[in-house]
Amino acid sequence: MSERGLRISHLHASVAGTQILKGIDLAVAPGSVHALMGPNGSGKSTLAFSMAGHPSYDVASGSVTLDGEELIGLAPDKRAKSGLFLSFQYPAAIPGVSVANFIRTARQAVKPDDLTPAKFRAMIFEKLDTLDMDAAFLSRYVNDGFSGGEKKRLEMLQLAMLSPKYAVLDETDSGLDVDALKAVGKSVNALRESDGGKDIGFLIITHYPRILQYIAADHVHIMMDGRIVKSGGPELANLIERDGYDKIREEVAAGAV
């Protein structure tokens, strides 16, 4: 049996004919938290969308496997059914569609007929309680008039209800004030401590290290110019907080990393 994990191997990808990813290697084990950091334009979001199967991102070579199953070549919905979740940097508003109906439809698409309406209702209220979210969310239209923090917390509710094997959080901290950032961090931690959440592997993509003050990362990777140039533990995020990316950029230029 293949070893469990979300594994990215020698991944090369382009957008509109321009090569962005230049050989990415990364492995996320179940239950672990990896942070992928880097300056704007380094290719972090391209990696997320390439993994999820966005049609605008062309994978030229390499592989992405989820517990041994190759994802490259599968339609986005097949990747989701395999257990991959992507949280968007800019979640879209869907006026006229309630949160409850949206999540019910998403759950049905990923895990057909596994919950009766009564069990779905019980589960979503349990997750609302776990994430300390108001039940009034359920009757609101998806992201319509939501604050930045509310949008990101709704992403966490979707994550909780879809119960994926691996979650990629793309710039979840983008545009959030300190209070909203704390709330999102609290939501992720509550989910990880809940039944069914302990084995979820996380890849947190971020520009700034501030979200890692609230979500402890086991591994930190620095991405520049389409490559992962440095990996380490949580101390690497502290280095970025102190010195920014210039020091690592100089090391790359000098061939030191």
In a domain, 55, yes or no: yes
Structural domain range at position 64: 6-253
Instruction: Report how many domains make up the chain.
Output: 1
Pairing of strands 141-142, 94-98: antiparallel
Using one digit for the tens of pLDDT, what is the confidence trace for 153-196? Answer: 999 999 999 999 999 999 888 778 888 888 888 888 988 888 77
* DSSP per residue, 127-179: HHHHTT--GGGGGSEETTT--HHHHHHHHHHHHHHH--SEEEEESTTTT--HH
Asked if residues 254 and 230 have their Cβ atoms less than 8 Å apart, the reply is: no
| pLDDT for 2 | 53
* Measured distance CA(26)–CA(110) in Å, rounded: 25
Residues 216 and 198 sit within 8 Å (Cβ to Cβ): no
- 185 within a domain of the structure (yes/no): yes
CATH (domain of 72): 3.40.50.300
CA angle 227, 230, 232 (to 5 degrees): 140
Query: Is 118 inside a domain boundary?
Result: yes
Q: Give a yes or no: residue 67 inside a domain.
A: yes
Q: Which residues of the chain have pLDDT under 70?
A: 1-2, 256-257
CA 240 – CA 43 distance, rounded (Å): 18
As separate numbers, helices (DSSP H) first and strands (DSSP E) second, the chain gives: 8, 12
Interatomic CA distance for residues 65 and 77, integer angstroms = 15
Residue 1 maps to a domain = no
- Compute the Cα dihedral for 124, 53, 223, 207 and give only its sign: negative
CA 147 to CA 85: how far, in whole Å? 22
Q: Give the Cα separation of 129 and 123 in Å (integer).
A: 10
210 inside domain: yes
Residue type, 53: G
122 sits in which H/E element: helix 117-130
Examine residue 69 and state whether it is found in any structural domain, yes or no: yes
Residue 77 lies in a domain: yes
Q: Is 166 helix (H, G, I), strand (E, B) or coil?
A: strand
What is the Rg, in whole angstroms, of the alpha carbon atoms belonging to the chain?
18
